Chains A and B, each alone.
Chain A
Amino acid sequence: MACAMKDYQPGSDADFDRLYRDSYGKIVGTLVGVLGGDRATAEDCAQEAFVRAYAAWGRWRPDAPAEAWVMRIAVNTAISHARRQKLREVGEIIRRLGRPHHDADPSEHVGALLPAMAELKPADRALLILRHYHGYSNREIAVALNRPESTISARLVKARGRLRSVLQEEYPELATPPKLRVLRPRNPQFVSRS
């Protein structure tokens, strides 16, 4: 994570502007994935995250990377938003009482990955994006999300497996081939005896 190399002064407005300039694109990209491809909501959450970060900027300690700190705030903001959105959708489903829903525009999603990732929890989506999109190591993700590294590793394995099983319908080549049974010749002595 390159942010560890940069020096930011807590409480400095100029440094916060620099932090915004350096990390806003990455944060929006992450939140687009966490929020299932909704870029407008992702930008909204990113702005809200920076408002929260700016309010706490004077209390930020330089021993932790600033970009990781902002990323954690942004991911938490997006997870909270996704939770509220899910509650809203449940209310909408109850209100519609099973009538067909045509609000979703299929042209918004270019590929099948983001819809498949929507099957995962938002926190797991964030893990996969930080790992495979930004290329962070497990340790860096652990620092960014303030979780133990072992927890990050275990959750990544689980999330990857779940995503793979979801994607198998769309991409059959991703299916793990069944393990071939190796047929060994029987023990000739045993065969001869029988």
Chain B
Amino acid sequence: MTHNFDRWLGERLKDELPDPMTIPANPSAARYRASRKVRRGLPRIARALVPSVAAQFVLAGAGVAVAVAAGAAATGHPPTSFIPAVGGASSATAPPQVVVAAPGSTDSADHAPGQSSSQKKGSQSAPPVKKAVPSHASTPEAKSDGGAPEDLHTPEPRPSASPEPHGDHAVRPAPSPTPDSGPLQKVP
């Protein structure tokens, strides 16, 4: 009777379950192929060089630093730190700000002859000029804002103070805020 039941069970299972031969098995449509593509996507050399996640983070940070340095070299604007330095400018931020004024002045000198043709360029060089504005007209804005970032920019007047005798540089910052185009016309 047990053998009969076993036979009966086998026949019923073959009736009710699908035949394995009729189930299509196409590896190209299988789900594991997707993971294979992801795994093959990474170059083998890179995976061999950077096996650990921590090393990948370090390399990513180095890559960002190189990109920022390259961008700074290309544009002439050094990266500014967003961390407020309490008690004066840090050694990292202060020297680059000195550099800001010099290329900014040359840029503005370059823009000076073509002022009438390209005001867009003047608007592009707005950020360094904006920094110069509070430096010269420091007293009213510093009183109004009174924030720490303004205190950070206090070392800036020294480098920008050197071109002050030229007079052009003192007047030029004012037009950089976009609505006031009047002072720009006064310059020439």
Q: A residues bordering B, Cβ < 8 Å?
A: 13, 16-17, 20-26, 28-29, 32-33, 37, 39, 47-48, 50-51, 53-55, 109-111, 113-114, 128-129, 132-133, 135, 160, 163-164, 174, 176-177
Contact = CB atoms under 8 A, between A and B. Distances in A.
A23 B21 CA distance: 10
B25 A20 contact: yes
Given A24-B25, A28-B20, A50-B31, A164 B14 contact: no
Given A28-B20, A109-B16, A132-B13, 8 more contacts: A29-B17, A37-B16, A111-B16, A113-B9, A128-B9, A160-B9, A174-B5, A174-B8
B32 A50 contact: yes
Contact of A129 (B8, B17, B19, B22): B17
A71 B6 CA distance: 22
Given A28-B20, A29-B20, A174-B5, A129 B31 contact: no
A107 B30 CA distance: 29
A32 B18 CA distance: 8
B13 A113 contact: yes
Given A25-B23, A25-B25, A54 B17 contact: no
A128 B1 CA distance: 17
A109 B15 CA distance: 11
A28 B12 CA distance: 17
B6 A48 contact: no
A54 B18 contact: no
Contacts of B14: 133
Interface SS majority for chain B: helix
Nearest first, the 4 A-B pairs at minimum CB distance are A25-B20, A24-B25, A25-B23, A54-B32
B23 A176 contact: no
B10 interface: yes
Given A13-B36, A128-B9, A164-B5, A133 B17 contact: yes
Contact of B21 (A25, A33, A39, A164): A25
A176 B14 CA distance: 23
A43 to B, nearest CB: 8
B75 interface: no
A133 B13 contact: yes
A51 B32 contact: yes
Contact of A132 (B10, B18, B36): B10
A108 to B, nearest CB: 11
Given A111-B16, A114-B16, A51 B23 contact: no
B35 interface: yes
B35 A54 contact: yes
8 contacts: A21-B25, A22-B25, A54-B36, A111-B15, A114-B16, A132-B6, A133-B17, A174-B8
A71 B9 CA distance: 21
A24 B33 CA distance: 14
B27 interface: yes
